[in-house]
């Protein structure tokens, strides 16, 4: 069976498994009262979401892994480890929020430490696998051109992993937003993997299929939230996938929504601290800024998804 056929099979299998797992998971999470804790300072419209089952990321993570098993290759392992490892960190954060009946789980330092530990294991694995492959990066838009950053790759790797993970985490604030944007982002990287023959089609296809299955329950009005379990796992998966393809610089463009969600939060926090309590945005991350300005959740998700699609097409065209 060719890689393309394997990818299609893995994608369809993951979609079905993810939808089934979501259907099974929702009543279980309700039973154990694993519901979302909504911040009192957030948009008032979100208070009605209090108690909606969270940690739904378990469904698409499990579906991705299971759908890859029949076609598993060594090259898939770092991506799957990034997925599962970051899901563990996010899951611990979600569990503490539920246990404490609060929107506070792990402290920011604890969460970053967990993410750093997962990234460090992956970095050691990459060096052990092929140290000669370090530092080579494909340049966005300029198809065929590369730069080599040598051992600067070490801090660059951590910056890419943690930045993408936390960008995806910040993007998960509206029904279906992170899921929809990520499906488009991974659509680009999946296409690029076939163009360059990177052998990552199966794992990329399975992940997209699993997210589509999850989106059936996560689209507005959401019946299930992914939680940090899902959003950190998503960021880890996307970052590791891009790194294996020597395309992490493309994240800055294709995953621009991740970037602007994270940057807007940093700007808001720093501006608040240095101005004695003034706000740069109505609310951060930036999707809440537009929500406070009167945009509906559906409109924000649609616009952010279209922006992602346009940027993905701009980056894909030079590769064809």
The answer, yes or no, to whether residue 26 has pLDDT greater than 90, is yes
Of 21-35, 125-139, 164-178, 214-228, the poorest mean pLDDT is in 125-139
pLDDT digits (tens, 9 = 90+) for 234-243: 999 999 999 9
pLDDT at position 100: 83
Contact 37, 93 (CB under 8 A): no
The answer, yes or no, to whether residue 38 has pLDDT greater than 70, is no
pLDDT at position 47: 59
pLDDT at position 141: 87
For the beta carbon of residue 133, count every other beta carbon within 10 angstroms. 12
Q: What distances in angstroms separate CA 25 from CA 70, 87, 103, 253, 313, one per listed residue? A: 24, 16, 21, 35, 35
**d(Cα 204, Cα 166) in Å, to the nearest integer?**
20
The answer, yes or no, to whether residue 46 has pLDDT greater than 80, is no
Any bridge partners for residue 146, and if so which?
A: 138
Helix (H, G, I), strand (E, B) or coil at 148: strand
pTM for the predicted model, two decimal places: 0.96
pLDDT at position 37: 65
pLDDT digits (tens, 9 = 90+) for 254-298: 999 999 999 999 999 999 999 998 999 999 999 999 999 999 999
Mean pLDDT of all residues in 14-27: 97
pLDDT at position 98: 87
Residue count of the chain = 320
pLDDT at position 42: 61
pLDDT at position 6: 98
Q: What distances in angstroms separate CA 135 from CA 45, 87, 158, 233, 237, one per listed residue? A: 46, 27, 13, 24, 20
In the predicted model, what is the mean pLDDT of the chain?
A: 93
Q: Is 303 exposed, middle or buried (0-12, 13-18, 19+ CB in 10 A)?
A: middle
Mean pLDDT of all residues in 146-164: 95
**d(Cα 68, Cα 6) in Å, to the nearest integer?**
9
What confidence category does residue 50 fall into, taking pLDDT thresholds of 50, 70 and 90? confident
What confidence category does residue 78 fall into, taking pLDDT thresholds of 50, 70 and 90? very high
pLDDT digits (tens, 9 = 90+) for 88-138: 999 999 999 888 877 778 999 999 999 999 999 999 998 888 776 678 999
**d(Cα 293, Cα 144) in Å, to the nearest integer?**
43
pLDDT digits (tens, 9 = 90+) for 199-213: 999 999 999 999 999
pLDDT at position 30: 87
Per DSSP, helices labelled H in the chain are 3-31, 57-68, 77-100, 108-129, 153-171, 177-196, 201-218, 227-244, 251-254, 256-274, 286-292, 297-316
């Amino acid at each position: 069976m060719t890689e393309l056929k394997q990818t299609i099979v893995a994608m369809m299998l993951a979609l079905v498994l993810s939808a089934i797992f979501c259907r099974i998971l929702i009543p279980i999470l309700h039973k154990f009262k694993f519901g979302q804790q909504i911040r009192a300072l957030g948009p008032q419209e979100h208070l009605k979401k209090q108690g909606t089952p969270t940690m739904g990321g378990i469904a698409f993570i499990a579906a991705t892994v299971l759908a890859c098993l029949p076609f598993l290759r060594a090259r898939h392992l770092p991506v799957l480890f990034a997925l599962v490892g970051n899901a563990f960190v996010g899951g611990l954060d979600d569990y503490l929020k539920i246990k404490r009946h609060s929107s506070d789980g792990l402290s920011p330092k604890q969460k970053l430490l967990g993410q750093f530990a997962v990234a460090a294991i992956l970095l050691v694995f990459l060096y052990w696998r092929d140290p000669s492959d370090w530092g080579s990066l494909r340049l966005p838009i300029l198809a065929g051109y590369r730069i080599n950053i040598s051992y600067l790759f070490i801090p660059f790797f951590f910056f890419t992993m943690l930045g993408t993970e936390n960008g995806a985490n910040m993007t998960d604030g509206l029904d279906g937003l992170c899921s929809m944007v990520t499906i488009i982002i991974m659509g680009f990287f999946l296409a690029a993997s076939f163009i360059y023959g990177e052998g990552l089609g199966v794992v990329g296809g399975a992940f997209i299929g699993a997210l589509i299955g999850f989106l059936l329950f996560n689209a507005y009005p959401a019946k299930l939230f992914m939680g940090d379990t899902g959003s950190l796992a998503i960021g880890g998966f996307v970052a590791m996938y891009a790194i294996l393809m020597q395309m992490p610089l493309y994240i800055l463009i294709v995953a621009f929504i991740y970037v602007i969600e994270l940057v807007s939060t940093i700007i808001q926090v720093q501006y608040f601290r240095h101005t004695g309590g003034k706000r740069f945005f109505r609310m951060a991350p930036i999707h809440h800024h537009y929500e406070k300005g009167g945009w509906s959740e559906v409109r924000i998700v649609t616009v952010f998804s279209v922006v992602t699609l346009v940027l993905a097409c701009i980056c894909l065209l030079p590769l064809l």
